[in-house]
Amino acid sequence: MDAARISHKGLSTLEQEVMLDQLPVRGTLPAWLTGTLVRNGPAQFEVGSQAYTHWFDGLGMLHKFTFRDGKVSYANKFLKSKAYQKARETGRISYTEFATDPCRTLFERVFTLFTPKFSDNAVVNITRIADRFVALTEVPIALEFDVETLETIGVFDYEDTIGGHTTTAHPHYDPVWRSAINFVTQFSPDRRYNVYRIPNGSAQRRLIASIPVSEPAYMHSFAITERYIILTECPFVADVDVRNVILGKPFISNLKWKPERGTRFTVIRKEDGAVRTFETEAFATFHHVNAFEHDGEIVIDLAAYPDASVYTYDFYLEQLRSTTQTIALPHLRRYRLCLHDGRVAAEALAAEPLELPCIDYGRYNGQPYQLVYGVNLHRARPQSFYNQLVKVAVQTGDTLRWYEEDCFPGEPVFVRAPTAAAEDDGVILSVVLDGKTNTSFLLVLDAATFTELARAEITHHIPFGFHGQFFGDMV
Ligand code: CO
């Protein structure tokens, strides 16, 4: 069997919505593992005779695995977004952006906010705002859902007037402020990054800084330290003439790779919103790993790609389904911004490439740390999709790997053991597609040894998703 082709199943539609009280488990789940992993991702890649063309574009589905008393249950349900409902009603990809141009990408979808209809297909990540569960995407529309039933409740209403047209699905949490932090990019009436926090239990965003920007950059994530918020502006920027967008010109033609600009780190001091900019050579990124302050420097670790092809080419379904291409992989890179002289130093962190990075977020985000988990490709057996989980010590480069033939793991999620002392005292959860059976299982690894503790098997495949969160207080 052609191994590269097997991963196609992970990019194919899942129709079934199920609730399974108790999954068969091979191995033994840790007795302390209690809580719920909630994930989302695309699950429908065609509507009628039309097909979505980009991994980010399929209609979103929620999945949850609940752990209690050594057992695990599973449920999944489509997000009942307007985009989903309209597709079901009409049998077509009905939103203006898709119907008029089925080749549209994430970026075009994002920027169709300038038109009356924009997609609320919140497919990227999960978080909680004001103690409510929401699914997130890169337009600032959060879709609230009931975590027990996975039913969609509706658009989450912020109780403020902060303007903006795009955002990240990677909000941070600041334990001192007891607030989530994120930003929205505003394209009209003028162009700004509006950086805000939203305190625990509140639905009201509070502006930290509103930063004018002539050419807003596409940013998928950002970083925070104890005192700073860092926006990493890769030179994939919107040289937007808003009138063109309103007239229906595809937005992608307005997003340009301008490597001569270099990459800019816009650093915002939390205390007073003061802004300072640092510059370095051009690179592209989706995900920051972590950032922290050390000895007069801001240290930023991220997964770097050399150029914009990761935005404009690599994650199209045609490429991901290719039997001849392997998925693009970024490398871990550390940037050090000197607060005294403004200089930026860059260094490679480890030889092992790594995407969908995960750390012990609760304990180490914004702090010095050693370990990152992620996905990449088996060196001798690369395939068209991630086929290996890795654990990398960022400074030594020491790496542990989990690989099983024709298995395709998703984003690892670290869950700390309740009595944890060491940074890796806990488990890694990952939804894995077994290409041999075309069904998925939830893999539980000992984070320290990277060996399998257990797997809980379900009867269908779970299409390749992006992100999720583990909520330990939820059972
Ligand atoms: Co992401």
pLDDT digit string (tens) for the chain, length 475 residues: 444 445 589 999 999 999 999 999 999 999 999 999 999 999 999 998 888 888 888 999 999 999 999 999 999 999 999 889 988 898 887 653 332 344 444 555 555 444 434 678 888 999 999 899 999 998 888 999 999 999 999 999 999 999 888 899 999 999 999 999 999 999 878 899 999 999 999 999 999 999 999 999 999 999 999 999 999 999 999 876 655 554 455 455 567 899 999 999 999 999 999 999 999 999 999 999 999 999 999 999 999 999 999 888 888 888 888 888 889 999 999 999 999 999 999 999 999 999 999 999 999 999 999 999 999 999 999 998 999 999 999 999 999 999 999 999 999 999 999 999 999 999 999 999 999 999 999 999 999 999 999 999 999 999 999 999 999 976 5
Instruction: Please give the single-letter amino acid code of residue 135.
Output: A
What burial letters (b/e) apply to 357-378, b meaning 16+ CB within 10 Å? bbbbbeebbbeebbbbbbbbbe
Distance (Å) from CA 467 to ligand 1 centroid:
6
Distance (Å) from CA 70 to ligand 1 centroid:
30
Those residues whose C-beta lies under 8 Å from the C-beta of residue 170, and which sit 6 or more positions away, are 125, 182, 220, 221, 222, 287, 288, 467
Dihedral of the alpha carbons of 300, 301, 305, 306, in degrees to the nearest 10: 50
Distance (Å) from CA 301 to ligand 1 centroid:
15
Distance (Å) from CA 421 to ligand 1 centroid:
28
Q: Are 441 and 457 in contact (CB under 8 A)?
A: yes
Q: What is the CATH number of domain 3-471?
A: 2.130.10
CA 180, CA 103: separation in Å to the nearest integer? 34
Distance (Å) from CA 163 to ligand 1 centroid:
22
R_g of the chain computed on alpha carbons: 21
Tokens in use for 88?
């079901």
Distance (Å) from CA 411 to ligand 1 centroid:
10
Distance (Å) from CA 355 to ligand 1 centroid:
9
Distance (Å) from CA 356 to ligand 1 centroid:
7
CA 97, CA 248: separation in Å to the nearest integer? 9
Distance (Å) from CA 287 to ligand 1 centroid:
6
Distance (Å) from CA 74 to ligand 1 centroid:
23
Distance (Å) from CA 285 to ligand 1 centroid:
10
Distance (Å) from CA 266 to ligand 1 centroid:
20
Distance (Å) from CA 264 to ligand 1 centroid:
20
Distance (Å) from CA 26 to ligand 1 centroid:
30
Cα distances (angstroms) measured from residue 392 to each of 25, 59, 251, 293, 427: 28, 33, 38, 21, 15
Per-residue pLDDT at 97: 33
Per-residue pLDDT at 229: 98
Backbone phi, psi, residue 213, to 5°: -145, 135
